[in-house]
Amino acid sequence: MPPKSRQAQWTHQAYQYEPLPLSRMIRMIEIDPSQDWALPLSCHIKIANLDAVPSYEALSYRWDKPKDSLLLCGKELRIRRNLADALKRLRLPDARRYIWADGVCINQRDDREIQCQIKLMRDIYWKATRVLVWLGEDTDNEAEQSFDRLKHIALSGYDPPPPRSSWWDSVAAFYRCEWFSRLWVFQEIAMATSASVHWGASSIPWETVGTASTRIRTLHLNAVMHHVMPNVYNAYLFNKTFAGDIQESFLYMLQVSRKLQCHLPKDSIHALSAFATVDFKVQDFSAGVKERTMTLYRRFARKILRRMRTLDLLSAVQHHSPAISTPTWVPRWDIRLVNTLAPLGSAVSRYTASRQLPAPRIKWIGYRGSTLCTSGLEFDTISEVKEEMTGLKDGSKMAAVFVNVLTQWLKIASYYPTGEPLARVGCFTLTAGMDAYAMRVEDESQHLADFTAFWAEYGYGMKWLLSSENGILGGDADSFLMAAGMASGGRKLFNTVTGYVGIGPASSQPGDMICVLAGGTVPFIVRRDVRSRRLSRRFALIGEAYVHGIMHGEATGRYANGEQAIE
């Protein structure tokens, strides 16, 4: 016989949390069974030592603002509606279920307890028998068909319909679920040893979701451009780290998770504290409630620069145009405007713009070390910038902007300083020499063929660019469009005084200087500090750039080193 449900009398008296007696103690929700998921929730709290805890499951869900009520130990607790829906759907018809969910198991009014429990999050999700991913209610009845199609995509021998087919609509609906866009859930699924995904009354194993996401990302990326699937990459990233060690730097984790959203700016760092990377351990994180956001960002920026001994961190700097936040060398992790031009990961092919420069000499001066000093060289000055280019959200609009900015440049360019054909220069500049996966192009002939196909479809009055000496057949216009969207979306194309062309931050403007800094894989755009004296070498960092013709150290052999100060 099923256990007797302990349905308590609704009293409307508010539930009061008892303090947890020890630092490794956690609460668990004991959910009373119900044959009808729509009935009010009745639960109890169990306290246990995390190191000797009975079997339980951990819930991963998206916080929302609307509130609902939970009957907890006979008293009322106000919780997020999305959490209430999850607990109702997940309760069993004939047995009690034990679940850990932060919205109930952590006293959300006790900042000290919150910080102590955050330090346990890695172990909480790792020790759970299973992580239950809750996507929300299936209000449009899409879950069953979406899951069915994900199962087909996950099959190694299955070939789905063409990218423009409406068959992909239900797949796109799945990847529009907001759970995939949240930062805190990243560590929750990454720490899981087993997981399942629940959408309304439907469920699917996480392994199926992960395999399907990987196949879409690697084999069917064109479908992403023709349907609104903003979270395919996030799902792919989650699966890549699922139940595995991260053999990358903490900077890598900050970069790849940057598009994920969180409520508090400081969570951009704190939400990654569960990951032990090759250079940061869990002990490196001190969850100080009172530490200001920019103080936290600067502290971690200095740690990263010291430990990596390169200037890769500076590729993460992005500013809202026209405002420039200070210190300008400290990345604002709560801002994500563009994809990085420096390929991510320790095993990928990288640019070597500073190849012949000595190892960077890094030091900090000024109030609280607000100014970063390093060595480098001045290469050129921006003479003109074009309109800001759009990203992957609107393919036709994006194509029109790319054609427009490239046409403007081609009308005034008759010769490139490196002697390369203008078609090749334009192709590699708009894509920063990278493919649709933000990796360095390996097959240059195919890349040029894709550009040829793109220009043939969208180039209109500039068909001369596709002459026999420039044009290569057998390309795919969509592949080039996606690659250009990844690299140029949110950036501006610029010309330099000496005739070079490149792409840089949207906040770039004429007069900005292009420099190569020791330890940097790509060039950077800087702006002379208007507060400094005329001869002072003090600059604001605007951001990273791609400049065609100097990405492999060509500039460093022709110029003497100098010292730059960036604040």
What is the 3 state secondary structure string of 205-233?
Answer: EHHHHHHHHHHHHHHCHHHHHHCCCCCHH
Same domain as 144, residue 124: no
Higher pLDDT, 398 or 55: 55
Q: Which two tokens stand for residue 324?
A: 């420039």
Backbone angles phi, psi at 523, to 5 degrees: -70, 165
What is the pLDDT at residue 84? 94
| Tens-place pLDDT, residues 334-366 | 888 888 998 777 767 789 999 988 888 889 988
Residues 235 and 143 in one domain: yes
Mark which of 128, 159, 193 sits at the end of a domain.
Answer: 128
Report whether pLDDT(533) > 70: no
pLDDT of residue 401: 92
Same domain? For 49 and 146 the reply is no
Domain membership of residue 547 (yes or no) is: no
153 and 170 together in one domain: yes
The answer, yes or no, to whether residue 567 has pLDDT greater than 60, is no
Residue 246 confidence (pLDDT):
66
Instruction: Please state the rounded mean pLDDT for residues 264-281.
Output: 87
Q: In this predicted model, what pLDDT tens digit does every residue of 204-228 receive, in sequence order? A: 999 999 999 999 999 998 898 888 8
Residues 174, 192 share a domain? yes
Final residue before a domain boundary, out of 190, 224, 244: 244
Q: Are residues 103 and 195 in the same domain?
A: no
The whole-number pLDDT of residue 466 equals 58
Question: Is the pLDDT confidence value at 243 over 90?
Answer: no
**Residue 49 maps to a domain:** yes
Query: Do 146 and 233 belong to one domain?
Result: yes
Query: Tens digits of per-residue pLDDT, 318-339?
Result: 987 666 778 999 999 988 888 8
- Our count of domains for the chain comes to 3
Do 123 and 141 fall into the same domain?
no
Same domain, 49 and 147: no
HEC string for 240-294: HCCCCCCCCCHHHHHHHCCCCECCCCCHHHHCCCCCCCCCCCHHHCCCCCCCCHH
Among residues 244, 276, 291, which one ends one of the domains? 244
Percentage of the chain lying above the pLDDT 90 cut: 65
Q: Are 460 and 428 in a shared domain? A: yes
Cα 240 from Cα 228, distance rounded (Å): 22
**Cα separation, 50 vs 214, whole angstroms:** 33
Average pLDDT of the chain, as a whole number: 88
Q: 58-72, 121-135, 431-445, 513-527: lowest mean pLDDT where?
A: 58-72
What pLDDT sits at residue 387? 93
**Domain assignment present for 278:** no
* pLDDT level of residue 384 (50, 70, 90 thresholds): very high
Is 457 domain-assigned? yes
Domain membership flag for residue 89: yes
DSSP 137-160: --TTS-HHHHHHHHHHHHSTT--P
Q: Is residue 388 part of a domain?
A: no
Give the pTM: 0.89
DSSP 8: P
Q: Which domain holds residue 68?
A: 25-128
Between 496 and 322, where is the model more confident? 496
Based on the fold, state whether residues 147 and 123 are members of the same structural domain: no
Q: Are residues 37 and 99 in the same domain?
A: yes
Q: Which of 200-214, 388-402, 438-452 has the lowest mean pLDDT?
A: 388-402
Q: How confident is the model at residue 265 (pLDDT cuts 50, 70, 90)?
A: very high
92 inside domain = yes
